[in-house]
Chains A and B, each alone.
Chain A
Amino acid sequence: MDSGSACPQPSVDLETPEVRGVIERARAGDQAAFGQLIRAYERVVLRTTLAALGRREDAEDAAQEAFLQAWRHLPAFRGEATFRTWLLTIAWRKALDRRRSRLAWWKRSAVAAVDGDPFDDVAGSAPSPERAAIARDACDRTRLAIARLSPALRDTLLLAASGEHTYEDIGVVLGIPLGTVKWRVVEARRLVRARLEVEAETEREHGPNGPAGS
């Protein structure tokens, strides 16, 4: 994985005439052609749903639902957007539906944390000794800081950083203007940096386990 680029280069989807031909065949009901589309887009769809859900199992289920819905609605696809963007929009909505239902389930079962965010299982709610030990690692601390972002900032940052989308595509998928996408990415990075700096400062003052009694 290339970690040196500040802004990951998105994969470009040109939708060549060959791809358009496959889409047309799939529109006509050719399942083999749709299988080719699944093969071409399963990775980006899975990464998109994973950005919203944070769990691989949920992300795979949402991706499968997205492909299923795309198959059903493919005859209505008019080609106003690229097939890729259309498919990713479906996948994102499916992922958000699943995230909402999971939140509702968590709230009903009183397992959720205060804000009930699905990424809480990544971020953790209480700094146990084990978690504190893990958090010593810089990568884990960064991961926790990202997970504790607000959903809007975190979604945008994860989609942008996944390397699968252009900012324009993210704007279409999230339904927000391009300027908002850019601002959210910058703001998300700034908040993560600030949180990491605060943690580092605290660690310098109070040691790796944080302030006494916390």
Chain B
Amino acid sequence: MNSDEGIDFIARAMTDAEPRADFRARVLASLPDRRRRRWSRFLVPAAAVMAVTSMAWLAGTIGRRPPAELTLARADAPGPAEPVGSLEAIGGIDAAEPIGPVGPVGPVGPVVRIVPVVPAEDLAWRARAVPRLTPPERLAIDPIQPKQLSIAPISVEPASLDPIALGAIDSRAGGQQN
């Protein structure tokens, strides 16, 4: 057994094993359903995105006025030398100036002008008359003057102290004072 062949023989025997018959079944029984996990993994982010989108849509719907509808109106065909393409302004304002001369391009088809149709209530809102406001009353400003200061002069009288009177000190025994 001292040869390499013998060592390899023993080494191989040390790792020689066959899996049990139920090994595969045990592994399969322990497998999680990856398909379900894959779907559930996206559920929460998808729900969050949907919630945010719904909130944004609701906020936009509530705070938004109905927009002006745009319709296409046909205009007469211009002459060959006329400028092509103009856009009428919104709400009864005069037509906008032509974009610019294009030059002779020959006969062209009818020009399509974009005329916005503004709802009646929107027009009424635009044409509303704002009542003139009355000017405010003029402000009267009282002059601010401090009252005359009257401070009495301070008089200081000289201090007068009575002299302290002391009796004669008897120096006899006992130190009695008369």
Contact of B28 among A8, A31, A162 (CB under 8 A): A31
* Smallest CB separation, B4 vs chain A (Å): 5
B34 CB–A CB distance under 8 Å: yes
B162 CB–A CB distance under 8 Å: no
Contact of A3 among B5, B18, B28, B30 (CB under 8 A): B5
Does A6 lie within 8 Å of B19, measured CB to CB? no
B138 CB–A CB distance under 8 Å: no
Residues 71-95 of chain A: 1 if any B CB is under 8 Å from the residue's CB, otherwise 0?
A: 1101100000000000000000000
Does B34 lie within 8 Å of A75, measured CB to CB? yes
Complex contacts, A5 vs chain B, CB 8 Å: 5, 8
Using a Cβ–Cβ cut-off of 8 Å, how many residues does chain B contribute to the interface with A?
32
- Contact stretch, chosen from B9-17, B59-67, B92-100: B9-17
A209 CB–B CB distance under 8 Å: no
Does B23 lie within 8 Å of A56, measured CB to CB? no
Contact of B24 among A35, A54, A189 (CB under 8 A): A35
B7 CB–A CB distance under 8 Å: yes
26 CB contacts below 8 A, A to B, read: A3-B12, A5-B5, A7-B8, A34-B31, A42-B19, A42-B24, A46-B17, A46-B18, A47-B17, A50-B17, A54-B14, A64-B27, A68-B31, A72-B34, A138-B1, A138-B6, A139-B10, A142-B6, A143-B10, A143-B14, A146-B7, A146-B10, A158-B14, A189-B4, A196-B2, A200-B2
